Amino acid sequence: MRIAIIPARGGSKRIPGKNIRPFCGQPMIAWSIQAAQVSGCFDRVIVSTDSEEIAEIARQYAAETPFMRPATLSDDHTGTMAVMKHAVLALAQMNCHPEGVCCIYATAPFLSADDISKGWAQLLATSAHFAFSVTSYPFPIQRAIRLGADQRVSMFQPQHFNTRSQDLEPAWHDAGQFYWGTAASWLSDDVLFGQHSTAVVLPRHRVQDIDTEEDWERAEWMFKAMQMQGQPSS
């Protein structure tokens, strides 16, 4: 058995109601639910939330809400690993012991069903503990600069001032879409960004953090542009 867990707490502050706010025609979380369903990877798609309003909308899109997340795991400081561990333990108490568990973020409208499938296949092929989505930085991180209080500039790595961009090692970052793992891995204290993980590479145009209103507006424009080009939304 394989299960998708979509964490979606109700207390978003920077974008109030972010997880269920309408995004290009339907609640944001619906895009993640549908991508999980279309992938064909899962026996169950479950939303972990502390909000009955979110739970109701999740059920409208055929996701399950067999448990509610406690308030102690629903604040601004609780990380994904703790939320996933709670979900796996809650399912175990219901005599549900999945082989694979995939955390899918509720604010990932560019999530592809094919990428979810690739993640599962890569997890099995590599015997990794986790498989998650990444994308490349658009600019060499070795040439990043910092601004002082007086707006004066300095380099983080000044030794690379004269290094050609093509001679610098590419860097990657978490795409914030999905994280496959075995149930045992979610229950352990494994480090997600470590040697036991494998990366599923996504193109940069399908990755967008949505933490501010500016992010939201940019994501909607990108999403609409992709739809106009006939690219699938799941």
So what's the pLDDT on residue 189? 81
Q: Could you state, in chain order, the average pLDDT of each consecutive group of 10 residues for the chain (234 residues)?
A: 95 87 96 97 97 97 96 87 95 95 97 97 96 96 95 96 94 97 92 94 94 94 87 56
Q: Supply φ then ψ for residue 161, to 5 degrees.
A: -60, -40
Say how far apart CA 124 and CA 128 lie, in whole Å.
Answer: 7
pLDDT single digits (tens) 176-231: 999 999 999 999 988 899 999 999 999 999 999 999 999 999 999 999 998 887 76
So what's the pLDDT on residue 190? 85
Instruction: Please state the domain extents for the chain.
Output: 2-135+173-228
So what's the pLDDT on residue 232? 54
CA-based radius of gyration for the chain: 19
Residue 155 · residue 88 · CB < 8 Å: no
So what's the pLDDT on residue 231? 65
So what's the pLDDT on residue 28? 97
Q: Domain 2-135+173-228 is of which CATH architecture?
A: Alpha-Beta Complex (3.90)
Residue 231 · residue 112 · CB < 8 Å: no
Say how far apart CA 19 and CA 28 lie, in whole Å.
Answer: 5
So what's the pLDDT on residue 177? 97
